[in-house]
Structure 1
Amino acid sequence: MTTALRSSERHSRPPGHGPGAALAETLRDRGRRRLFREDALTVLAWASGAAAVALYLADGGAAQFHGLSPALTAIGVVAGLIGTDLVLVMLLLAARIPLIDRAIGHDRAMAVHGKLGKPALYLILAHMVFLLLGYGVTDGLNPIAEGVSMWVNLPDMWLAFLSIVLFLAVVVTSLVAVRRRFPYEFWYVVHLLTYAAVLTALPHQFSVGGLFADGQWQRWYWIAFYILVLAALVRYRIWAPIALTFRHQLTVQRVEPAGDGAVNIELTGLRLEELAGSGGRFFIWRFLAPGLWWHHHPFSLSADPAAGSLRITVRNLGRGSASLMAAKPGTKVSLSGPHGLFGHAARTRPGLVLVGSGIGITPLRAILERAEFAPGHATVILRGSTQGTLYLRDEIAELCRQKGATLYELVGHRARSGNTWLPRHQSGLRLADYVANLAESDLYVCGPTTWADSVLADAKASGLSDEQLHHERFDW
């Protein structure tokens, strides 16, 4: 079934003229600033690795590339420096630093974080192998015997080998094929071993390596880098959630049905107006009740904060979310955020297209509530297998009527060919058939990963650029 509700006729005037011109210019300026921040962060990331190698070479490393043994050792040192640099960059990407979040968003930061894992591990393994080869040539030992000798005779080397084992555990458990076999909580705890791996690698750098030797520039570079990472993690992963929780003092007010297998959880608290405009972005929630407090849940707001209350809409998708179905009024809640670029700050065009499926519809409702657009220049597409899975449909329909947006309800089983994000009887259509001003619009997509990928592929085939596409991931 397909339903279209038109609250106003589309303007024939292009969005670049008239009242929409000021909005378009504001969005262009915002987009340019965000791209500048993204480019600056990219340059800094590359420069950190280059600086690590340059300082090593300047502090005498360049003189070591003569003869087989010192050359092998030098290669091992360079590999270790770059590998360590990548690990520290990974930790910064995972630290939820607002500057990084505003530039590239949490999802993209974590995607880059994941991509760096294998190269970092390979470089750290190369560091170990080349050092064993280099020292082995000098001592007349094979690599295994050299490793045993270093373990026995050099202080803290056993911690260095333990660090490599921990890095291996983290990378292996991060592989999609592996992590799908375990619950999220298991993978999350294992992933915390990254911090243990970094800490266990530090002692041998002081006692064995020349990295922190007095009188070398690289000593201060690495000390500053480690302090920066530690400060970012403490500030944004530990202190920020604690401060936010005490500032807002959230409490569950009521839990109400919101459709097939879903509930609205309304929360009251203090100074919630500070969170206005966070619609679409997600917070990390912990419900401080027996059996719930150790689960953290990344949920987006389903309504913009108003009148001292917040709302999230939760569907029973697993053990963790199922436990929230029975959350009791009066339960205290801690939170961290908001995170991500799935909100107004990411917009680049005056037109707006919101496409959601199932529970992925709910963040779009919050975005629509506060979005600015000229009447007729916004389109909302709700997708569900049944009418009951068009969550918050009535609220969205009313917002579309008030703000002058066009609403489509696409109900039915997914197509198996063509544009598979559409119902079977509509698989021959494209996104452009629903949105007349698609080229001048930003597209927000939220729903299951495979379905969302189909929407994004359709959008790219229709000519939309990457900066116009915004996707909220539903996997981990």
Structure 2
Amino acid sequence: MTTVPSPPARPTAVRPRVVARTGLCAVLAVNAAVVAFFFVRAGFAANALIVLGRLTGLYGALVMAFQLVLVARLPWLDRRIGMDRLTSRHRWTGFALLWTLLAHVVLITFGYADGAGVGPVTELVDLAETTEGVLRAVVAFGLVLVVGAVSARCARRRLAYETWHFIHLYAYVAVVLAFTHQVAVGTTFTSSPAATAYWYGVWAVALGSVLLGCVALPLWRNRRHRFRVSAVVPESDTVVSIHITGRDLDELPARAGQFFLWRFLTKDRWWQANPFSLSAAPDGRGLRLTVKAVGEGSAALRHLKVGTRVFAEGPYGAFTTLHRTRTESLLIAGGVGVTPIRALLEDLDGHAVVVYRVASERDAVLHDELRDLALAKGADLHLVTGGPVPDKLAPLELKRMVPDIADRDVFLCGPPPMMNAVLGTLDELGVPERQIHFERFGLAG
């Protein structure tokens, strides 16, 4: 395949991921200080429980808005941090949100109950019946509890991604209900025109980010590029490559190593979105993804017809040469994890070593392409076969194949057990964390 890759990124001392994370933390810290400032200016209630309840409610609102930004799929953040890490942070801030809102409900209820001389349950029912916005807040809190419950690992593993995603859409209902509650009874919200403008601005940025990254940008790109299936090429009994064509693909900001959420618009698959990496560097004329059949949906892809329309969301991911810190590289692939590795090899300059780990030679998908690429670029290719025991990527074995491993950037992609084992090996070999690049493709965290 002839490709015209984008100019390779040069190693940089300024780490884009660190810059983006620092920026996010700084924005959150500044907003936390602003919230505290407006809270103090609004004055305090006589009851300490009510004071603390209002403060936890305000910080709960701020965390909720911050969560929306984390999953808004904004290109600047995604390319520097990665959707997997942003999703993970969204998950953990979600639990922080849950406990913050729980504290808000408990403190406010007990505070007002103490002043009225009634029980907390009676007071909560009375507030919901008589105070505007409280019933909406109770419903919002219930939705947050449901979303939090399905985010627990034990529940997440039992749910299909589509089911998990559908339940999480109710979080947006909770956001709207929480906002209307804040408008109706938030003393800090209405304490001054500046406070009101601030909170309207916070919610406008948060909801606007979601609309931009998750709705407007995908719709605009698909309308512009008109993606369609141009070829379906079986690579083995279980693996198939799908070639995508479209308009103005030279202006699509995709990089080797990134992935899209692909929806193939057939009668039985239009509602399913699956994350598949590009298996070749974008060349401005077409895109290629290579998929292994691991379920009924992915197995059906080999029967796609040429001309099938495609709705593609992306490109996403920070698994690119943007994060290079060294001129020489080591690329480690396991199984079908070779797809972004093969694309990255096209995009890298400098000497590269490729280690491809599979159970047997017949499982080495795209091996011929890797071999030809390695030969053309002067890279070293090692095909490692055999069972998982003994570990053929253990420290001694990997050091033997790549003696200068600690002086290279390491790009890693493969099944989770293999990735975890290799990450342990890299740590033992003293490879600095900043030189290790990987991405986990579980969108639900």
Query: TM-score under structure 2 normalisation?
Result: 0.93
2:352 to 378, 401, 408: 378
Tell me the residue number matched to 1:10. Answer: none
- Residue 44 of structure 1: how far off its partner (Å): 1.1
**Amino acid corresponding to residue 68 of structure 2 in structure 1:** L
Structure 2 counterpart of 1:392, one-letter code: L
Find the partner of 2:26 among 43, 54, 73: 43
C-alpha RMSD of the superposition: 1.9
1:307 is displaced (CA, Å) by 6.1
Instruction: Quote the sequence identity (%).
Output: 34
Query: How far apart are the structure 1 equivalents of 2:368 and 2:253?
Result: 22
Say whether residues 1:468 and 2:435 are aligned partners: yes
Deviation at 1:361, TM superposition (A): 0.6
The letter of the residue matching 2:386 is: G
User: Which letter does structure 2 place at the counterpart of 1:238?
Assistant: V
- Structure 2 vs 1, CA of residues 304 and 189 (structure 1 numbering), >3 Å: closer, same or farther? same
* 3-state DSSP of counterpart to 2:356: strand
Q: Which residue in 1 is equivalent to 2:224?
A: 247
Q: Tell me how far apart the structure 2 counterparts of residues 210 and 84 of structure 1 sit (CA, whole Å).
A: 14
Partners of 1:451 and 1:51 in 2: CA distance? 45
What SS does the corresponding residue of 2:281 show, helix, strand or coil?
A: strand
Find the aligned partners of 2:74 and 2:240 in 1 and give their Cα distance.
Answer: 31
Q: 2:398 aligns with which of 431, 455, 476?
A: 431
Which amino acid in 2 is paired with 1:388? R
Using the TM superposition, give the Cα deviation of residue 429 of structure 1 relative to its aligned residue in structure 2, in angstroms.
2.8
Q: Does residue 1:181 correspond to 2:144, yes or no?
A: no
Corresponding residue SS for 1:187: helix
Please state how far the C-alpha of 1:413 moved relative to its aligned partner.
1.1
Aligned length: 436
For structure 2, the residue ranges without an aligned partner over 5 or more in a row are 1-7
Counting only pairs closer than 5 Å after superposition, residues 306-455 of structure 1 correspond to structure 2 as 306=283, 308-373=285-350, 377-415=351-389, 420=391, 422=392, 427=394, 429-455=396-422
1:157-196 pair list within 5 angstroms: 157-196=134-173
| 2:5 alignment partner in structure 1 | none
Q: 1:271-294: per-residue Cα shift (whole Å, max 9, x none)?
A: 222247611111111111111111
Q: Provide the rounded CA distance (Å) in 2 between the counterparts of 1:335 and 1:355.
A: 27
- Which residue of the partner structure matches residue 104 of structure 1? 81
Residues 155 and 207 in structure 1, CA contact (< 8 A), matched pair in contact too: yes
**Aligned residue identity for 1:56:** F
The offset of 1:216, in angstroms, is 4.6
Q: How big is the shift at 1:51?
A: 2.0
Note the alpha carbon deviations across 1:310-329, whole angstroms, 9 max, x for none: 11001111233223222111
Pick which of 128-137 and 314-323 moved more: 314-323
**1:52 counterpart (35, 55, 58):** 35
Q: What is the DSSP-based 3-state SS (H/G/I as helix, E as strand, rest coil) of the residue aligned with 1:28?
A: coil
Alignment equivalent of 2:130, drawn from 134, 153, 158: 153
Distance 1:52 1:268, change over 3 A: same
Q: Could you say what secondary structure the match of 1:302 adopts?
A: coil
Contact 2:67 2:90 in 1 (8 A): yes
For the residues of structure 1 that align with 2:296 and 2:203, how far apart are their CA atoms? 37
CA shift for structure 1 position 215: 2.2
Q: What are structure 1's unaligned runs of at least 5 residues?
A: 1-22
The secondary structure found in structure 2 opposite 1:337 is strand
Distance 2:414 2:98 in 1: 33
Name the SS of the counterpart of 2:396 in structure 1.
coil
